[in-house]
Amino acid sequence: MTNIEILGFVSAFLTTISFLPQTIQVIKTRDTSSLSLAMYSIFTVGVAFWLVYGIIIGDKAVIIANLITFVLSSVILSMKVYNDVKIKREKNVIN
Amino acid sequence: MTNIEILGFVSAFLTTISFLPQTIQVIKTRDTSSLSLAMYSIFTVGVAFWLVYGIIIGDKAVIIANLITFVLSSVILSMKVYNDVKIKREKNVIN
């Protein structure tokens, strides 16, 4: 492995693993109020596209990194959608 | 441009641009309560590493995508740190 390959590997590891603390925080606190629905919608679709791209070009690093990110991002997005739907329903009950 | 190149371009565009609505939301609402400090710390460092990686291998797409993401992620991280420091100070005043 060259130094450049190691740098690429570390970069991919950091940007992938960074979504783990956010996922844990969302699961623990159930709070998604300041998370952007648009961000997680676009991001999750984008990561899914990266995953398909990785599968087509047969790059294991791209596949693994984006598979992990896709799972983490999907959990965050699901919790965000669940909370937003819940808040909307509660508002409708009040009105 | 081949179909695979277009897929890669669209993927990079989506995962990059996804941080724009989160940045706008954070600037507008000033609310970062449910954002993970660990996520944005690790993610911003990771994107900076990607940027250096892009510069070294001379890949314009990697450079541009990560430069934009770095700016957006830095704004979110700065606001998160600012709010957390503010909350800590207010708590100290109360205690």
The C-alpha R_g of chain B, in whole angstroms, comes to: 17
Question: What CA–CA distances, in Å, run from B43 to A16, A77, B39, B80, B92?
Answer: 8, 18, 6, 13, 29
Asked whether residue B82 carries a pLDDT value surpassing 90, the answer given is: yes
* Residue A76 confidence (pLDDT): 98
What is the spatial distance between Cα B88 and Cα B95, in angstroms, rounded to a whole number?
A: 11
Which of B:42-81 have CB within 8 Å of A? Answer: 42-43, 45-47, 49-50, 52-53, 56-57
* Residue A95 confidence (pLDDT): 74
| Tokens matching residue B2 | 């081949």
Q: To 5 degrees, how large is the angle CA B19–CA B63–CA A59?
A: 85
ipTM of the complex: 0.92
User: Do residues B50 and A11 lie in contact, with contact meaning Cβ atoms separated by under 8 Å?
Assistant: yes
Three-state DSSP state, A36: coil
Q: What is the pTM of this model?
A: 0.93
Q: Write out chain B residues lying below 8 Å of A45, CB-based.
A: 14
Q: Which domain does B63 fall in, by range?
A: 3-94
CATH number at residue B58: 1.20.1280.290
Chain centroid offset of residue A64 CA? 14
The reply to whether residue A38 touches residue B45, judged by beta carbons under 8 angstroms, is no
Percent of chain A topping pLDDT 70 = 100
* Residue A94 confidence (pLDDT): 81
Minimum mean pLDDT range among A35-39, A57-61, B77-81: A57-61
Structurally, how many domains does chain B consist of?
Answer: 1
